[in-house]
Amino acid sequence: MASYTIEEGFLALPDKPSEVYTRTTRPAKSIQSKARLVFIHGFSDHSNAQDDLFIPLAEKGIIVYSFDQRGWGRSVKKAADKGKTGTTDQVMNDITYFIKNHVFARQEEAHLPVFIMGHSMGGQETLTYAAIGPRDVVNRIRGFMAEAPWIALHPSTQPWKLTVVLGRMASKLMPHYHMVNELDANLLSRDPDVNDGYVKDPLCHNTGTLEGLAGMLDRALALNEHKNLVPEGVGEGGKTR
């Protein structure tokens, strides 16, 4: 008998017809649920690429809620949608809407604590959400976990300042202009099979928009320069660490 179940669907967003793909990985009924985890994926990633994490967590009694963010994974319906994440406000609003309408809405699970975890770009978004997200939601989150959060680029990959300035200007004029930013798959894992799987995954399209890329750079800068700080008292035990 399987030790977990997977529920898939789509969540309609307020700006219809926009919708995002959702996946819930649950413990089998024979396993007592202990907590809920909202997972935020990274750049050029998606919910169904996380089984090595989601399934072991479910087997330990953790319900994992995830969604493919705008512009990524199965939330992309046409080529023009790729990387079309919107502004930082849009990204934060989507996370809030998902939590309120897909996680908190499960009244039968209301007794279970909720945690948020993000990887890479998702880790950046998790920290940003803890810092500036709506307090009525943030105060109900037991803890925030950021795995390898993108808060700065390695010096060897830093773009020229002029490039950043021009890019921000261009993002105002052509927000949905596509740019391909290929990640070095060899740096993703020590397992070559995992890296090869990423390269061959059609849902990992490495395509961003000027607006989305500018938003990522701005969020990273705000975190790195301590403009967005996770306030004391956020998370488990009321202490930030």
All domains in the chain, ordered by first residue? 4-238 (3.40.50.1820)
Name the pTM for this structure.
0.93
Both tokens of residue 129? 């959400």
Non-local (6+) Cβ contacts of 74 within 8 A are 21, 46, 47, 48, 68, 203
Please name every residue paired with 64 in a beta bridge, in sequence order, or none if there are none: 25, 37
Least-confidence region, from 100-109, 165-174, 178-187, 190-199: 165-174
Rounded CA gap, 168 and 179, in Å?
13
User: What integer pLDDT is reported at residue 174 of this predicted model?
Assistant: 94
Rounded CA gap, 153 and 204, in Å?
20
Both tokens of residue 30? 């024979």
User: What integer pLDDT is reported at residue 27 of this predicted model?
Assistant: 98
User: What integer pLDDT is reported at residue 171 of this predicted model?
Assistant: 87
User: Contact, 218 vs 186, CB < 8 A?
Assistant: no
Question: What percent of the chain has pLDDT above 70?
Answer: 94
Task: Count CB-CB contacts under 10 A for residue 192.
Answer: 10
Confidence of residue 166 (pLDDT cuts 50, 70, 90): confident
CB burial string 21-37: b at 16+ within 10 A, e below? bbbbbbbeeeeebebbb
Q: Is the dihedral of CA 85, 86, 89, 95 positive or negative?
A: negative
User: Across residues 70-84, what is the average pLDDT?
Assistant: 97
Rounded CA gap, 114 and 210, in Å?
33
